[in-house]
Amino acid sequence: MDDEVEGIRARKRAELEGAIGATDSVVPMRLTDANFWEIVKGNRVVLVDFWAEWCGPCHRIAPTVEAIAKDYAGRLTVGKLNTDENRRTAETFGIHSIPTLLVFKDGELVDSVVGAVPRPFLEETLQRWL
């Protein structure tokens, strides 16, 4: 229940910040097994970063994911899902390598990127769906 409320608050905060142009505090949303589908189905385009605390490449791509959340606020929702804490969702998508970034459009999985790729590559992938 708390995770669901946290997800709703984060989404509303991001929407409000995007509406008034105050994107400095826009960060990726914390996704969980409990709020995953609500966020994915409730937003037009969603980028989900599947990661783990112990994963070096996950930490290398994190600043890129955070920058995209800020730079694309209002056009794209960005979330991070810790695979160690949310195994059910990770298993649903067969996540075996991290970082894995999945792109959803209108609630449907449309693209994926595996590994700590450069920002231009990730942006090129996202542009197909925005």
| Residues with active-site annotation | 55, 58
User: CA–CA separation, 71 vs 13, rounded Å?
Assistant: 16
Q: Which residue's structure tokens are 């826009």?
A: 26
User: CA–CA separation, 39 vs 58, rounded Å?
Assistant: 21
User: CA–CA separation, 112 vs 104, rounded Å?
Assistant: 9
What DSSP designation does 73 have? Answer: T
Q: Which residue's structure tokens are 């708390």?
A: 2
